[in-house]
Structure 1
Amino acid sequence: MQMNTESSLVSSPIFAYGFRPFFLLAAIYAPLALLPWVGALLQLFTLPMPLPPIAWHGHEMLFGFVGAALAGFLLTAVPSWSGYEPVTGGRLLALVLIWLAGRVLFWLCAAVPPVLVAAVNLLFSLALLASVVPAFCSEGGRAHTSIGVGLAVYVVMQGIFYLSWLWPERLPGMTSIDVLNSTVNLLLVMIALTVSRIVRVVAMAARHESGLCGPFRLTVARERLAVFMLVLFAIADVFAPGHAVTGWIALAAAAAQADRISEWPWGRSMKRPYLLLLTLSYVWMMVGLVLVGITDLTALLPGYTGRHALSAGAVGTAVLAVLCIAGLRHTGRPLRLPRVIWIALAALVVTVILRTLVPMLWPEYYLLAGVALPFVFWLLAYLLYIVGYNHYLLSVRADGKPG
């Protein structure tokens, strides 16, 4: 009986590969994770919780929404890179159930022991790490160890968040918001590392579809410099947040990212939404780093300036890009994004513009134009993703291959 159940799970499309359930869950949860925070700010409703609403919101965005997207990506990309057996069937179902349990517990965190909430959520990240470590250790996966290290640090950051929440006296001088900002910085590093592996494929596809030919190269040294500067910024922002030195490093990191994408194919190739998504993620990364740099070097801008460009902008756009690109490639389909993704992309751009500029330039309109409207456009972006991709994620591969 147990073997038959396992067999049916393996043969079910939704549990045939890690990206299928987790991409769908990430898209569904993206707007849901905003509801308690938006409801509290607009004074519509409050969710009982033993931690500040902004910390709840930040956790669920970075370790709930992004955690699901990260799981879907790693459980799919790492086996593809390494040739290692992917996590499917019952093992994949177990990971999904742990993630869901973590979300339920965080919504009920005022009614259950906080230690249980933290333990279950951390269990998911540890289980994800354990699921991909063997692939990183295999002969084919060693070249991608840096991403495995990034995932390990991500798990550590989640543990530090729980320490700052449950036992703040053990982390003097570090708040949960500091931990969340550091987690965003870590995700920027992971995006940079991942883009190194993705952009060559999608750039070549974009050039081919645009009728361009000839050699296309990306300079490895430029890629490494861009990653190194992001790592340096992440470290500086931990030990010297708001310091002038951190500000200069942020500006240098922005320049390194601009240098990196200067080699990407521009012109007609940027009409391909899959390449445009990756590029916009980098544009928001540069904007956010420049704003953080100016904030650290001057007293002209509020301390949070630039953080939304890095989180909702760079991270949010990168997540949508991965969900779109991997959702096609790993279901055996050509890189032709559904037309609704253009609208989703536009909605996401509007979201980030409002979240970045309104609090800084028009604080008197913060609740309407800086909270309510961005939530509507964010909801629209991921709703359109679900509309465009649910059939791909829930049905068998178009080319008949397993996965």
Structure 2
Amino acid sequence: MSQPSALFSYAFRPFFILAGVYAIAIILAWIGFLFGGWPLPLGWSPLQWHSHEMIYGFVSAPIAGFLLTAMCNWTGAPPLRGAGLVALVLLWLSGRAVFWFAGWLPGWLVAVVDLAFLPVVALYAGRVLLRYGNKRNLILVAVLAALTAGNLLMHLGFMNGGVGLLKLGQGLGLDVITLMIVVIAGRITPAFTANWLKMHGGRPERVTQSARVTQWALASVLALTLVALLPLPLWVEGAVALLAATANGARLYQWSGWQTRSEPLLWILHLAYGWIVVALVLRGLGAFLPALSDSLWQHALAVGGIATLILGVMSRVAMGHTGRPLTLRPFGRLMYAAIIASTVFRLLAANQWLDYRIGVTLSALAWILAFALFVVLYAPILWQPRADGRPG
């Protein structure tokens, strides 16, 4: 099998590489703009351009790569491959291209091209899930639809000059991605943990999942997503965020993540979920303590929770789905350490515990190191055929 056909044999292969590369590009551009005076053909306000491309640009790639790959395991359906996958990749790239040239293009064109990707993924995923009778996972199609709605709000806000719509779309994107993490990580993390403990003589019976706690964890995050869209007093959102933090903290505790401390491919998943809990706590407290800025919980969620989980899942899937042993690549621990450092530096800067310029720069450098290591370590695996000679 040639390298190009291997690259487009499963969605995780091209989309994980693109996620790694784009994570570097978007932060390089942002830091250059903030501190280096680099001109960017933004079209949008710089802050909202940055947040849009982090939420709806960068994160959408690993979501598509993971979902379209996992569906094959859930349903037994053949993967999207070849020309169809190439077309989907080009659609994602087109969305990124129009944003980098948004200052020179009509707003409607930027919106049409950028908004197309997530609905196409949702329609394809929904069709496959229905055809194979896997209705349980249709919730993820609804999540993709909600992400599309958030993206649309940001575009409408830009075209109409509505800052409120821009912020609403940004917040909805973060909340919906959080909900997706609570659903997906809530399935894979305890399952992977129990299986690993069983294989390595641990105590898998300590990995528990209470139906009631799980229901509260999911329902509270869904409630938070809805409450944030309504014109309610801030303390209501804060109270729901604290409830979500409590439920998801209890859920994480039940997974006994401390038993995986010798396996980085597992503890990174527990750590990422832990950052979600921290972000919910900070969001809840911020409603009652104005000294805690929104930037604090937003970056705890975006860098600590979302980006850390993305690296953890991509580094695991890249090995397991290419017929290789489930082990972390050399220098993989440095990759994980770098994303942890990026989170810590960004939070220190967000709450002015570290000089803003220094903190943001250190966070950006650590972020770039983390994703550069991913690209260097895993791109060669992702574009090569499976190690065991099997298709895929």
With the shorter chain as reference, the TM-score category is over 0.9
Q: What runs of 5+ residues in structure 2 fail to find an aligned partner? A: none
1:258 paired to 2:249: yes
3-state SS in 1 of match to 2:164: coil
1:202 paired to 2:195: no
Aligned pairs for 1:292-331 within 5 A = 292-331=283-322
On the 8 A contact 1:81/1:140 being kept in 2, the answer is no
- TM-score between the two structures when normalised by the length of structure 1: 0.92
Q: Which residue does the alignment assign to 2:370?
A: 381
Letter in 2 for 1:183: G
- Give 2:274's match in structure 1, choosing from 283, 299, 302: 283
Q: Which residue does the alignment assign to 2:172?
A: 182
1:63 paired to 2:56: yes
Aligned pairs for 1:120-159 within 5 A = 120-159=113-152
Any idea what the Cα deviations from partners look like across 1:224-281, whole Å, max 9, x if unmatched? Answer: 2211111111112221477111111111111111100111133342321121111111
The CA deviation at 1:176 is 1.1
- Give 1:85's match in structure 2, choosing from 70, 78, 82: 78
On the 8 A contact 1:340/1:385 being kept in 2, the answer is no
Q: Which residue does the alignment assign to 1:4?
A: none
Aligned pairs, how many?
391
Any idea what the Cα deviations from partners look like across 1:319-356, whole Å, max 9, x if unmatched? Answer: 11221122122112222111322111110011111111
CA gap of 1:275–1:147, structure 2 versus 1, over 3 A, is: same
The CA deviation at 1:160 is 1.7
CA gap of 1:219–1:140, structure 2 versus 1, over 3 A, is: farther
Any idea what the Cα deviations from partners look like across 1:81-121, whole Å, max 9, x if unmatched? Answer: 11223210000000111111111111111112121111111
Return the alpha-carbon distance in structure 2 between the equivalents of residues 253 and 30 of structure 1. Answer: 29
Q: Which residue does the alignment assign to 1:12?
A: 5
Q: Which residue does the alignment assign to 1:109?
A: 102
Q: Which residue does the alignment assign to 1:37?
A: 30
Return the alpha-carbon distance in structure 1 between the equivalents of residues 159 and 134 of structure 2. Answer: 36
On the 8 A contact 1:184/1:315 being kept in 2, the answer is no
3-state SS in 1 of match to 2:105: coil
Return the alpha-carbon distance in structure 1 between the equivalents of residues 326 and 248 of structure 2. Answer: 25
- Give 1:191's match in structure 2, choosing from 181, 187, 204: 181
Q: Which residue does the alignment assign to 1:269?
A: 260
Any idea what the Cα deviations from partners look like across 1:59-88, whole Å, max 9, x if unmatched? Answer: 111111101111101110112211223210
- Give 2:357's match in structure 1, choosing from 349, 367, 370: 367
Give me the identity figure in percent.
32
The CA deviation at 1:22 is 0.3
Any idea what the Cα deviations from partners look like across 1:267-307, whole Å, max 9, x if unmatched? Answer: 34232112111111111111111111111012232343311
User: After alignment, is 95-104 or 186-195 more displaced?
Assistant: 95-104
Return the alpha-carbon distance in structure 1 between the equivalents of residues 323 and 11 of structure 2. Answer: 15
User: After alignment, is 223-232 or 30-39 more displaced?
Assistant: 30-39
On the 8 A contact 2:95/2:110 being kept in 1, the answer is yes
CA gap of 1:266–1:95, structure 2 versus 1, over 3 A, is: closer
1:238 paired to 2:201: no
Return the alpha-carbon distance in structure 2 between the equivalents of residues 167 and 266 of structure 1. Answer: 47
Return the alpha-carbon distance in structure 1 between the equivalents of residues 203 and 42 of structure 2. Answer: 57
Q: Which residue does the alignment assign to 1:3?
A: none
On the 8 A contact 2:198/2:204 being kept in 1, the answer is no
User: After alignment, is 129-138 or 50-59 more displaced?
Assistant: 129-138
On the 8 A contact 1:83/1:140 being kept in 2, the answer is no
On the 8 A contact 2:244/2:280 being kept in 1, the answer is yes
Letter in 1 for 2:243: A
- TM-score between the two structures when normalised by the length of structure 2: 0.94
CA gap of 1:251–1:217, structure 2 versus 1, over 3 A, is: closer
Return the alpha-carbon distance in structure 2 between the equivalents of residues 310 and 289 of structure 1. Answer: 8
On the 8 A contact 2:6/2:383 being kept in 1, the answer is yes
The CA deviation at 1:220 is 2.9
Letter in 2 for 1:40: F
